Amino acid sequence: MNMLKHFVALSAVIVPMAAANAAEVVIDLTATIDPTLSVQQANGSPMPQSLDMAYNAATGDVMSETIQTRLYTNDPTQNVDVRLGAASTLVHVTNASVAPIPLTVRLDGRTITTTNTRLTAAETWTGSATGESRTLPLSVAGRAAGANPPTAGRYVGRLEMLIVASAAE
């Protein structure tokens, strides 16, 4: 009986100590869900949240790598309208007097502007699985206006592309 008392007393001391050496992991999770249409990279990864653009001093072009994308839907009979939320530009971070560099956005070789570009259901939903589009390359490029190179420095911009399912015609 005396041994049982010692065991209970020792357990009361050791168990809280074991808990004090534990680790806790807390991860905030987010998801934006549209049950009718989604966009991912062709390999199934989420779209990147940022892109580093490279400047080519020989040509004066600013460009990003091409992102291979796919659209996914639960209704492959619908067309897709694609447009920009606003014209995309790069602006100098520290010098507001520098003219913005206009950007050209292309999806599947088509220039995307602030007006709708229609991708028909027949041309879009030809992927290997039902409701999966074929691969649609996405590229962003620009060139500073004029014959002179742009002002040196860091430039930032935003690409807001709206992709909306629409009724088939």
Render pLDDT for 6-53 as a digit per residue (tens, 0 to 9).
555 556 655 555 556 778 888 888 887 777 889 999 999 999 999 999
pLDDT tens digits along 87-146:
999 999 999 999 999 999 999 999 999 999 999 999 999 887 888 999 999 999 998 877
Average pLDDT score over residue span 71-89: 93
Sign of CA dihedral 140, 146, 148, 150: negative
d(CA 8, CA 60): 77
Which DSSP category does 165 fall into? Answer: E
Which DSSP category does 78 fall into? Answer: S
Alpha helices in the chain (DSSP H): 2-20, 121-124
Higher pLDDT, 12 or 75: 75
For the structural domain made of 37-166, what CATH number should be given? 2.60.40.2040
The pLDDT of residue 51: 92
The pLDDT of residue 18: 52
For the ranges 70-74, 122-126, 148-152, the lowest mean pLDDT is seen at: 148-152
Is the predicted pLDDT of residue 153 greater than 80, yes or no?
yes
Here the tokens at position 150 are: 């742009």
The domain segmentation of the chain, as residue ranges, is: 37-166
